[in-house]
Amino acid sequence: MNAGWQDKHGPERASEIELKLELAADAAGKLLRHPLMSQARALPDQGGALHAVYYDSTDCALHKAGLTLRVRQRNGRSTQTIKAERKTRGLALDRGEWEIPVEDGPDLAAAAGTPLAPLVAREAVRHDLKPVFTVDTDRRAFEIERDGATIELALDEARASTGAGAEHFCEVELELKKGNPSALFALAEDLAGSIPFRLSPVTKSERGYRLLGQADVTPVKAGRIVLPTQASCAEAFQVIARACLSQIIRNEALLRRSDDPELVHQMRVGFRRLNAAVSLFEPMLRDRDSKAVRAEIRWAGKKLGLVRDLDVLIARLRKADDPDKGPQVLEEAERLRAEAFEKVLKILSKPRFMRAVLKAATWVESGRWLARRKPSIVAARDLPARALAAEEFSRRWQRIRQGARRMDDLDGEDRHKLRIRIKKLRYGVEFFATLFPGIPARKSRKAMLDLLEGLQDMLGKLNDIEVGKTLLDPPFRKWVRKAAGDTKRRERKLLSQAGKASRKLAKAEPFWASTP
């Protein structure tokens, strides 16, 4: 360890805003030949061969705390970098970063004033720090001016290595040096017109930890959304849409490594939440580009539908007790699920899917909807998000209450439509929750969400029964209801429960109407 600087000479903190794009190794030459690269200024001082050593304790205490400690060598010089992940990760990586020149190994004294300091203050962690993996990178760096922003583009052909194995990969990092982050997305979309890029949430350090068996494959659920009190509709939509896209992208990266049904579910939830957000803010999204992006979002989300429906059916079949036909039906459902999942994996790797997600991200950050001067669009963008929320909640609540009051007369299709309306209102309430503060509002909001979720769950189970009848080939369909335990008695019980829940819901008081 280096003796290093004292606290007063500690490393300078910088904010790193970076967009990471993954591409196939054979696409590197295509990128360098892209017309946009002819306008780029080469940065030979930022490129070359990079050898990075990452340090952690035996139990990976730094990784678990969302921190990385790296010493990178280039041209005989060593630089120590500490990075801290934010608790909620967006589309662009936005990390705290502290750098300092070092002699060779880490300088722990220079961690003073950084999030790493409390960890290395613990003797057990400090004495257990050691190299855990390396990343060797052949980097070509360029500077590009775009929309008043200065962006550094780094093309990295790299190899992460541990004692147990290695992973080769190729990626492009777009780092904002000056200007608006929207320029990162606009540049990425221009390049993606002819190069199969994939928005990637995976950092170099994560690849190394993956080789160590420390990869987190936990499905990413929707995080809490915090909107500024005075947020306009434009600002609120960007915050919400970023969160939805982040949920999609992070689950998609995990889904390419695991067939966990919950990953499919959470990725699909991300698409549905994004569709709900677009629906809520529709008055300001009435342009041709928005319509095209919305169509692609719906297309991409629907591709997960069959796998998810089969997952639900399989879960029900495994719970049911039918020793006669149950095993045969379950085996057929699992066979169809495996086939459907393979098709999904192929779709995730197709240029159309990758472009759809990247185009949606670019649209959120710098789409035409942000610049249109039509008075009605300007007014919709500038409207306080809280005003829109109250208006939309009231309108949607009225339709839901009307449907709930007629529950006993609804057929399967009408119940399905009511369930979708409930789900969209639930998402909306979650999106705008922080705009209705205070204990009374919080209590009434929770009570309403509980009622909405309860009725949605019952209607969902009824819909699962209907969908389950259609998923398997005809020879198996006649056995599905019995094998899944979908008896007429169960259906009547669910209908009765839905009727009681709908009557409670119809009497609920809207929290947004009484909040000052």
pLDDT for 460 equals 94
Of the ranges 91-105, 189-203, 303-317, which one carries the lowest mean pLDDT score?
Answer: 91-105
Q: State both tokens at 64.
A: 């678990």
Q: How far apart are CA 274 and CA 294, in angstroms?
A: 9
CATH architecture of 9-216: Beta Barrel (2.40)
Each residue's pLDDT tens digit, 150-205: 999 999 999 999 988 999 999 999 999 999 888 888 899 889 888 888 988 888 99
Note whether 326 and 317 are within 8 A (CB): yes
- CATH class label, 233-370: mainly alpha
Note whether 276 and 428 are within 8 A (CB): yes
Residue 2's pLDDT band (cuts 50, 70, 90): very low
Residue 436: helix, strand or coil by DSSP? coil
Q: How far apart are CA 421 and CA 455, in angstroms?
A: 11
Each residue's pLDDT tens digit, 332-362: 999 999 999 999 999 999 989 999 999 999 9
Q: What is the pTM of this model?
A: 0.88
pLDDT for 266 equals 97
Note whether 281 and 391 are within 8 A (CB): no
Q: How far apart are CA 179 and CA 185, in angstroms?
A: 12
72 phi/psi in degrees, rounded to 5: -110, 135
Residue 91's pLDDT band (cuts 50, 70, 90): low
- Intrachain domains 9-216 and 233-370 with the same fold: no
Beta bridge partners of 80: 71, 100
pLDDT for 7 equals 37
Of 215, 161, 213, which is closest to residue 53 (Cα–Cα)?
Answer: 161
Q: How far apart are CA 253 and CA 150, in angstroms?
A: 29
Residue 241, amino acid: A
pLDDT for 508 equals 83
Note whether 96 and 83 are within 8 A (CB): yes
Q: State both tokens at 487.
A: 């008896």
Q: How far apart are CA 428 and CA 222, in angstroms?
A: 13
pLDDT for 15 equals 53
**In the predicted model, is pLDDT for residue 379 greater than 50?**
yes
Burial (CB < 10 A; 0-12, 13-18, 19+), residue 449, is middle
Nearest-5° Cα angle at 476, 475 to 480? 150
Q: State both tokens at 68.
A: 């990385």
pLDDT for 86 equals 65
Residue 1's pLDDT band (cuts 50, 70, 90): very low
Average pLDDT over residues 91-99: 74
**In the predicted model, is pLDDT for residue 31 greater than 90?**
yes
What are the sequence ranges of the domains in the chain?
9-216, 233-370, 383-516
349 phi/psi in degrees, rounded to 5: -95, 0
Q: CB-side exposure of 320: number of CA atoms within 13 Å?
A: 25
68 phi/psi in degrees, rounded to 5: -130, 145
Q: How far apart are CA 206 and CA 160, in angstroms?
A: 10
Of 293, 265, 264, which is closest to residue 278 (Cα–Cα)?
Answer: 293
Crossing angle of helices 439-471/488-507, nearest 10°? 150
Q: How many CB atoms lie within 10 A of CB 170?
A: 18
Residue 400: helix, strand or coil by DSSP? helix
Beta bridge partners of 154: 141, 173
Q: State both tokens at 193.
A: 């017109």
